[in-house]
Amino acid sequence: FNLMTVLDAILAACSIPAEERGLQVAVSVAPGVPTALRGDSLRIYEIVLELVTNALKFVHQGGVFITVDTGEEAGSRFLRFEIRDTGGGMEEEQIAQLFQPFHQVGKQNPHRSGGTGLGLSICKRLVEKMNGSIGANSAVGNGSIFWFTIPLCLAEQEPAEEYQPQFHGHLHNRRILIIDQDETNRQALASMVTRFHAFTETKSTTAEAFIALQAARSNGFPFDLILLSVGPQNAQILESLIAVNQIRALDGLAQTPVLLIAPEEMDREQLANIDREGMLGVHSKPLYTPQFFRSLVDALNPPSFQWLGQNESKSQVRIKQQIPISIFQKRSALVVDDDFANRQVTNDFLSVAGMSVDCVSNGETALAVLDKKSYDVVLLDLTMPGMDGFITLRKIRELESGTVLPVMALTARSSPEDRDEVLANGFNAHLTKPVDQFVLYSALRNLLGKDSRENTT
């Protein structure tokens, strides 16, 4: 599996509820961390998502920051995930009880309240099943860091990465200046850009950036691109627009492209007075790896000013590039999965493609809904308690009269034998978890873009 795909799926699941509260979620992967890995990607996804979701409950300002690095102990390499929050922190004596079932921190600690602790105990069990370890560090007033380590297992074959197409050379050895007031955001941005084999320099203020820009030009190594990252505050946005025009006025920098990285809710009218010859584009947060790569390539090879915001989302832009959007418009889908996070991610992916989506948590409810309402496609989890996916599909087929409803299996089982078993049991498609957004779109195109209902992989 690809590590970046898993991290992007986590961002997709938790960024919207974070943004609704004015919080941010950022990811930073240390240089040298391999992304082609072998292991249980679904479990990693579930553990990190649970830790991020839990941390967000106790944060009122700032956000949650995910970092991934490698280490070595007793000759064995491991992956280390850290989830750091800017919450109120915890008393030291409470940390040892965090991973006990039903432990509730809020009863003993006024700085963190709510939650049963059951999710953390499950995380501990899942990590230990992968021969890893988990823990936490915290101090009152300084936030908390939850971490876990698992053995590092490299994949024998590099998975395809959508952000490494034939355009990869457009970013190789390019010099990119990153401007952001927040240190964690600067590190996260630098981490992403460095993985695209570009050189980065980071500054916290526009004043520092002006000095760096002029020094780089004087030394004969000017920056190829400026990334100007801002928060949701109007003052920051206004300052960024002023800064762009100041950069344009600096001697020799009139043609240096600037890409603004802004909150998705940023209003187009806030850009009305900007010199658009100087601002080549706006990329909205959160930063998903493949889309961010494409924005960087476009900024260095700009056809025109572009907006990737709420009204024209990043996902919709990519769908238009790869799949005719009309295939999904006014189509309906039923998602059946007992895991809330999985339902939410799949719902988000389908909704942004223009589909009408209903979600249920078990096979029994799915059958009751299908008895009353028609759908164009069903996405069905295989491993649900009670009535599993195979039994649910058989019941669905018994309800049918004439037209065969396309049903897509969602499963962590990814071997060729698993795929053959799924298709042999009557499913029309087989998708592995965590669901990749554009693999999902491609499978839907194969199903909904055809008149026939033949099986697809």
317 residue type, one letter: V
**pLDDT at position 341:** 74
Residues of the chain with pLDDT under 50: 105-118, 160-168, 234, 272-278, 303-323, 325, 450-457
Evaluate whether 3-151 and 170-312 have a shared fold. Answer: no
**pLDDT at position 321:** 40
Q: Is 95 exposed, middle or buried (0-12, 13-18, 19+ CB in 10 A)?
A: middle
Q: What is the CATH architecture assignment of 170-312? A: 3-Layer(aba) Sandwich (3.40)
Strands 332-336 and 377-381: parallel
**pLDDT at position 239:** 66
In angstroms, the Cα distances linking 453 to 366, 405, 426, 447, 449 are 21, 8, 11, 7, 10
**pLDDT at position 316:** 40
Record the pTM.
0.51
Helices 314-322, 340-352: crossing angle, 10 deg rounding: 60
Residues in the chain: 457
Distance CA 361, CA 340 (A): 8
Residue 93 CB: number of other CB atoms within 10 A?
9
**pLDDT at position 252:** 67
**pLDDT at position 279:** 54
Which tokens hold the place of 188?
Answer: 């996260």
Segment holding 411, helix H or strand E: strand 407-411
Rounded to the nearest angstrom, the gap between the alpha carbon of residue 311 and the centroid of all alpha carbons in its chain is 19
Q: What is the CATH architecture assignment of 325-448? A: 3-Layer(aba) Sandwich (3.40)
Distant-in-sequence, close-in-space partners of 247: CB < 8 Å, separation ≥ 6: 209, 210, 213, 226, 253, 256, 258, 278
**pLDDT at position 284:** 64
Distance CA 116, CA 108 (A): 13
Q: Which residues of 180-209 are buried (b: 16+ CB within 10 A; e: fewer)?
A: bebebbbbbbbbbbbbbebbbbbbeebeeb
Name the residue ranges covered by the structural domains of the chain.
3-151, 170-312, 325-448
Please say whether the structural domain 3-151 has been given the CATH code 3.30.565.10: yes
222 residue type, one letter: P
- E strands, 234-370, where? 258-262, 279-284, 306-308, 332-336, 356-360
Distant-in-sequence, close-in-space partners of 306: CB < 8 Å, separation ≥ 6: 280, 281, 282, 298
Are 144 and 55 spatial neighbours (Cβ–Cβ below 8 Å)? yes
Distance CA 338, CA 322 (A): 31
